Structures are given as C-alpha cells and as structure tokens.
Amino acid sequence: MPRVRPAAYALVIFFLIGSRQAAAEIDRIDIGTRLPPPYWALLERQLLASNGAACAEFYQRYFDERGYLECVERWGGDDGPDDAIENCNDWPLLHALGGSNDVLKLYKRAWEGHLRQYTQAKTTEVPLARDGMYYKEFPTSFDWVHNGEGLTVFNLQGLSDPLDLDFEKRVRRFAGFYLNEDPGAPNYDAEHKIIRSLFNGSRGPLLRPATALDWAGDPIEVKHRFRLGHGEESYEQMLAHFKDYTDIVGDHPQNLAATSLALNAYMLTGETKYRRWLLEYVDAWRQRMAANDDLIPTKIGLDGRIGGAEEGRWYGGVYGWGFTVEVPQDGSLAHRNTHHWGLIGFVNAFLLTGDDVYLDAWRRQIDRVNAGGKEIGGRMCYPRMFGDQGWYDFQPARYQHGALEIWYLSMRQADLARLLPSGGGTRAEPPRRPTSPSSLQWVRYLQGQDPDYPQRALLGDLDRIRDRVASIRADTTTPDTRLADDPMHLNPASVRSLVHLMWGGMHPGHQGNVLQCRLRYFDPAKRRAGMPDDVAALVDRLTDDEVGVTLVNVNPLQAREVIVQAGGYGEHQFIAVASPEVDHAKLHGNRLLVRLAPGAGSRLVLKMRRYANRPSLGQPFNRG
C-alpha cells in the first residue's frame, strides 16, 4: 500500500543547475500494492526500446562518423539547412521520456556535425550564404518557418542535457541575436517593438525585397535526380514557385517563434532580461490584435504601423492573410497563410505568467474568423484567407488554429467545446482541422469517451516504427541523389502516444516550440531525465487542479524509484496526493519521489496549482 513520508524524511536533492547553493527536500511515496503489468505498460516499455533501436539504425544509414547528413547540401525554402537536422525530430523527446542514452548521444553528434556541415556549406549565387549558410552556428538570415523547424531539436535539448556548456553558450548567443546583444545582428527594433524583417538571423534582418533566388537557392539539376517537396521538375519552376515571395520587410507573426530562444535562455539562467524581452514583444503583438478587430495582422511596417506603407492592408506580406500564389507546375492557386505561427509566442508568454490574456487574444480571433462563415451550396463554410475583397478560401471545417492549445492551457469547459461536439461527441459535425486526429482522440480519452485510445495509439506508433524501418532498409538513394529532407519521412522516432499518455502533454510539433506537459519523470538511480527502466505511466485525467496517473513497475524482481515533476519545467506545484489506499496527504513542492516495489503499481490523483513556479531547466540532481 502507498505510504506518504513527510518532507522531513524525504530524499535530499539539488535542483539548481550547476549549483550546490540550495537543496530541497521532496516528499516520498512508497507503493507496494501488487498490480499485474497492464497491457499498456508493456506496450510503453516496448515502444521506448523499439524507438531507440530504430533511431540507431536510421543514424547509421544516413549520417557519417562526423555527424554530417549524407546528402547534397542546399540553401533555400525548397530544401535547406533546417531540413537536415529535422531528420532528428523527436529524438530529444524520446530521450526525455526514458529512451536509450544512445539516442541523446547520436542526436548531439548529429547536431554538432550539422553546425559544422552548414557553416562550411556555401552558396555561389545567393548573397545571403556565400560565406556559409550558418554564421555563429545559426542561420544567417531566413524566415521563421524554416528557422523554427531547424531549431526544433535544439530547443528541446535542455529537457535532458541542460548542463552541456555548449548548449548554454548557444542558448545565450541565439537569444542575444534578438535582444540586440550582437551588433552584427540588429534584428529587433526596441522602439517599435518589432523584428524588422521576415528574413532575420545571425547576420541581421534583410531590409530589401527578397528575390526568387534568395528563396530557391543556387541553380541545381532536378529532373531524373531529385524529387522536390513542392513538386517542381526544374530549377526554373523552383524560381517560379518563389517569384511572388518579395514583400518581407517589416514584422510578421512568424517571428514570434523567436521567443522560444528567449524562453529557453530564461529557463536555463533565470536572468530576467530574457523574460522581459519575451513579454514586451508578445504584448506588442497582443495590442496589435486588439487594434485590428481581434485579428493578428501579417504586415507591420518598419515604422511599427499595422500595414506599414500600405496602411490598411493588415493582411499583406509574404505568408500573410492574403498571400495566394500560383503553382508553376499547373497554374493552380495555393493559399499560404502562416499567421498561426504567432501562437507560439503567446503560448510561451502563458507558460511564463499563467495569464489568461494571452489565450483570450486567440479565442477572440477564432470567434472573429468563424463569424465570417457563410452558407455555400447548402452547408456552412468558414474562411481561411482575407484579401482586398474580404474573406475567401471558405472550407466546411471551422477555423480552429490554437483551439487545442487554448483548452490544454486553460482547462476550461468552454474551451473544450471548441474541440469536441456537445453531447459526448456523438452528433455529426464537420471535421475540425488543423487539430490532428490523434490529438482529438487523446482529448476524448481524457474525457472518458475513448477508453481504448491508449492501446490503439501505442500499437499505432509501433506499427509506424516497423513501416519506417522497412522503408529505410529498402531505400536505394545515394548521397548525391538525396536532398536533406529526403530521409525525413523515414525518421522512425514515434513518441506522440508517449507524450500524451506518460506526460499528459501536447506534442510540441516541429516549429521550434518548447514542451507543454502536466508531468515529467526523472531516474534518481541513473541521474538522468526520463522514466526509469521497467516503469510505465498512464495519465488518464486532466483538470485545472489535478491529474490522474497510474504508475506501475513491470519488473517482478526489482524495486524502482522515479521522481515525478509537476510540469515539463517544474512550473506547477503539487499540493496533495490521493489513491485508493491513501485518502489525502499534503505535498510540499513540485517534485515527488515514488518508490515502487517489485510488480507494484497504483493510480494517484495529484492535486496541484498550475503555473505557480518559475519554469526552469533545472533537474532534481547534479550531474557533476
């Protein structure tokens, strides 16, 4: 039976990164109740093991001993440096969940190799990268669709490895490009609170119209050699794809993805300058939304005005609300509106503050867009784009960008209604994209509507690994016929079900986001992030002030200990714990040590105050 020991008898741990200044005592629970290994627990352990083995095989196939991706190196929006390191997407999450230490070792080797590879890689025609595609280990100047994708794995490294000295240097340097700490990279205008161009980076903002060459990269042979992601069959079509991608001067919501750099720096160092800059920049965007009828503008001029020189055209600019271009292969029109990337900054601000004003701005935007819906052919349709003639690109699905994040962060019933139909999800309703089907199934499971979801999701990820490894083994490409993004669809790392079920978290996606989760785990025996050997967790309930989780030790011979943390970065605070064996016991911090006897397990209900603590990359032990 579980026994709660008060803090006075708890394990003493150090929780400040790289410091022995302070120690904290954490409560301890002993669980001795026998629990035969549930099927989901065995599947979780199998999935962690299979992921690690599959990633090792993928690395062996596509990376060399230096950590270089074996491919033709390119600059640009079709294929570029960001695509190369995206081949390791989800590897930091896998390790932080409890995957093999080899996953972390291979990811770090790939990252170090990637930085060297693309610093050495140069363009001949594109001015932005003639001296190297990376400068100071960061893209020289490009848009945040690509910068963010290329930083996806780096921005999550701190979950497992915050004490790496190179990581700390890079976190500070990268954030410094946006705090104007590097005179060679004046990206931010503190007076107008804008990032000055859609193109920005370690060499600063591009303050001229972009050209198709800037976006497409150097001339390249295409036909019979490469398969481009956008479907172009020649370099001329590549240039045609980007011919309208010119209006980049001024700020765009995409740039809010840069706030993840400041957030990581703050969580690592605790220095308030990073927090201050992040909130200043997000607040400026929040005020623009309020001034623009609750819609985030996609064009901010260098003078800080919505619409800039084209005053009133708040929907302008590359990747704006009105950015519709022609597909060169067939002449069709493509709508490329990426305003929703701005949500990243608002979510980051909420993690820092727990202030609902950052969510409410996006609630109002969702309602404002859907208010533009109209009946077409006897059915209601809702817009996605806005141009000189008003709303267009009407679709049967309701506009929903941000709805999952708003509900997850607020835990309000009214926000849940944006995701799930009323009446328990039984009445017919049009599909609500872009929220992924797996995320909606997970939300329904948490509401008690889909009890088979854990088994189905875990088996699905195991199937995905099997299929991808089979495709790796069947791949006949060679390094000189392979672009950086070609192996990406074969990356076997499959962790979405584990993020949902073990952490009670949202998968952070591949845009450079940080992690949002309710619980995270550490192994006190191995002094590392992740679930200890043989231990599994199933989060089955989330509310504003509690989480229900079953912890089980599937090993019938050896006891295991696990440290449970409240939040991905310790941002929440435990208050109490209850289980079938323990009615109520007070807790005193954001970490809890659980000792599981051989073959033991129990469901715990953990009461908590959310967003009560400063988020930190600190771990519950020193690694020195």
Tell me the per-residue pLDDT of 484-516, one tens digit each, with 9 for 90 and over.
Answer: 999 999 999 999 999 999 999 999 999 999 999
How confident is the model over 298-342, as pLDDT tens digits?
999 999 999 998 778 999 999 999 999 999 999 999 999 999 999
Do the beta carbons of residue 422 and residue 371 sit within 8 Å? no
Kindly write down the DSSP assignment for every residue of 336-401, as one continuous string.
---GGGGHHHHHHHHHHH--THHHHHHHHHHHHHHTT-EEETTEEEB--EEETTEEE--BSSPP-T
User: Is the predicted pLDDT of residue 426 greater than 70, yes or no?
Assistant: no
> What CATH number is associated with residue 21?
2.60.40.1180
Quickly list H helices, 179-317. 212-216, 235-241, 259-269, 272-291
- State the pLDDT at residue 9: 39
| Beta-bridge mates of residue 382 | 395
Tokens encoding 499: 């993020």
CA atoms within 13 A on the CB side of 203: 17
Mean pLDDT over 422-430 rounds to: 37
Using only C-alpha atoms, the chain has a radius of gyration, in whole angstroms, of 24
Taking Cα atoms as reference points, which of 167, 178, 195, 359 lies closest to residue 273?
178
Question: Cα torsion for 32, 35, 40, 43, to the nearest 10°?
Answer: 80
Residue linked to tokens 């270089």: 68
603 assigned to some structural domain: yes
pTM: 0.94
Q: Which amino acid is at 151?
A: L
Do the beta carbons of residue 323 and residue 233 sit within 8 Å? no
End-to-end CA distance of the chain: 35
Q: 19 is in which domain, residue-wise?
A: 3-31+518-609
297 assigned to some structural domain: no
Confidence of residue 573 (pLDDT cuts 50, 70, 90): very high
Do the beta carbons of residue 487 and residue 380 sit within 8 Å? no
Helix (H, G, I), strand (E, B) or coil at 56: helix
How confident is the model over 598-607, as pLDDT tens digits?
999 999 999 9
25 assigned to some structural domain: yes
Tokens encoding 339: 């305003």
User: Is the predicted pLDDT of residue 262 greater than 90, yes or no?
Assistant: yes
Mean pLDDT over 418-425 rounds to: 60
Q: What is the mean pLDDT of the chain?
A: 93
Rounded CA separation 177/170 (Å): 11
Rounded CA separation 28/31 (Å): 10
Confidence of residue 429 (pLDDT cuts 50, 70, 90): very low
Confidence of residue 3 (pLDDT cuts 50, 70, 90): low
- State the pLDDT at residue 26: 86
423 assigned to some structural domain: no
Number of domains forming the structure of the chain:
1
- State the pLDDT at residue 433: 46
How confident is the model over 57-114, as pLDDT tens digits?
999 999 999 999 999 999 999 999 999 999 999 999 999 999 999 999 999 999 999 9
317 assigned to some structural domain: no
Kindly write down the DSSP assignment for every residue of 21-80, as one continuous string.
S-EEE-EEEEE--B----HHHHHHHHHHHHHHHHHHHHHHHHB-TTS-B-SB---SSSS-
Tokens encoding 110: 């790939």
User: Is the predicted pLDDT of residue 15 greater than 50, yes or no?
Assistant: no
| Beta-bridge mates of residue 202 | none
Higher-confidence residue of 204 and 579: namely 204
592 assigned to some structural domain: yes
Beta-carbon count within 10 A of 190 CB = 11
Do the beta carbons of residue 609 and residue 575 sit within 8 Å? yes
Question: Cα torsion for 407, 410, 411, 414, to the nearest 10°?
Answer: -60
- State the pLDDT at residue 20: 31
Beta-carbon count within 10 A of 525 CB = 10
Tokens encoding 84: 């190369």
Q: Which amino acid is at 447?
A: Q
User: Is the predicted pLDDT of residue 21 greater than 80, yes or no?
Assistant: no
Do the beta carbons of residue 285 and residue 258 sit within 8 Å? no
26 assigned to some structural domain: yes
- Bin 312: left if φ > 0, else alpha if -120 < ψ < 50, else beta: left
565 assigned to some structural domain: yes
Tokens encoding 287: 């005020």
Rounded CA separation 560/604 (Å): 17
| Beta-bridge mates of residue 134 | 139
User: Is the predicted pLDDT of residue 22 greater than 70, yes or no?
Assistant: no
Q: Which H or E run contains 364?
A: helix 357-370
- State the pLDDT at residue 231: 86
Residue linked to tokens 């500070």: 172
- State the pLDDT at residue 139: 98
Rounded CA separation 95/164 (Å): 15
- 313's CB contacts (< 8 A; 6+ apart) are 299, 307, 322, 388
- 162's CB contacts (< 8 A; 6+ apart) are 17, 168, 268, 617, 618, 619
CA atoms within 13 A on the CB side of 321: 26
